[in-house]
Amino acid sequence: MAGKLEGRVAIVTGAGSIGEGWGNGKAASVLFAREGATVVALDINPTAAEETCRLIREEGGSAMPFVGDVARDADVKALVEATLRAHGRIDILHNNVGINRTAATTQLSEADWDLVMAVNLKSMFLTCRAVLPIMEKQGRGAIVNVSSVAALRYARIPYLAYSTSKGAILPFTRTIALEYAKRGVRANVILPGLMDTPMVWASMKDEYPGGREAMVRERNAQVPMGRMGDAWDVARAALFLASDDARFITGAELVVDGGMSCSTG
């Protein structure tokens, strides 16, 4: 039985993971490959990119690592050129790269503001700008951008740059969705809630002096379903939006948060 992405070429940015465990991009890359896609796994860390590709190959899938910084136009152009040389097409772009810098508004440095905006938002502009002409020429394509429920509500921690960048992804994606709706290209957004991933712990451990177990307890308690999500919850949402199961869905915002964004807590 053919997979949902059989014969398609998917670029996944942020396809590695910080340390051990499953990050969103790593899980999405593996799941896309399990469903038949050829995955181009981009990460700024070569070891992380290769690890994701190794896992895919061990399961019999097809994957190509690419090392680059998606906040740099030259790296994005090189990524697209390498993908076309190797595979001749780009069917899916999954923009998963994201970072955070936590600081009170008056303590947030200009450098950190600029960095978060570049990695979280400018990168999506650069990748979408590069692949949209290719997808239009093909007559089909799916873009899946990762935002956050921090775009919808205050996250209890000062996330000024992060929440602002993630909020901007919503109109950014809607604009692309409408501009390309009649050209065969769909664009949608995933908004993850509280997730238990290596990136979360790496970026927030200073906020939880009680350690990782304390962080898990506190964050689980904030979710109406009683637990955080994980990378596979986000990956399954990405698979749905990238596949023909979502063929009549564009400009949508899929919240993956265990009910948190619709609660009053």
Q: Find the catalytic residue in 154, 159, 162, 208.
A: 162
In order, the DSSP letters of 21-38 are S--HHHHHHHHHHHTT-E
Spatial separation of the C-alpha atoms in residues 147 and 52, rounded to whole Å:
22
H/E stretch holding 186 reads strand 185-192
Nearest to 42 by CA among 93, 7, 79: 79
What one-letter code names the amino acid at 194?
L
The per-residue pLDDT of the chain, averaged, comes to 93
pLDDT bin (cut points 50, 70, 90) of residue 265 is low
Is this prediction's pTM over 0.85?
A: yes
The token duo for 182 is: 């009649």
Q: Strands 38-43, 9-13: parallel, antiparallel or unpaired by DSSP?
A: parallel
Tens-place pLDDT, residues 156-195: 777 899 999 999 999 999 999 999 999 999 999 999 999 8
| 34-70: pLDDT as tens digits | 999 999 999 999 999 999 999 999 999 999 999 999 9
Q: Which helix (H) or strand (E) holds 95?
A: strand 92-95
Determine whether 162 is an active site residue: yes
Residue 255 in tokens: 């919240």
How much is the average pLDDT of 2-15? 96
* Structural element, H or E, at residue 190: strand 185-192
Domains of the chain are 9-253 (3.40.50.720)
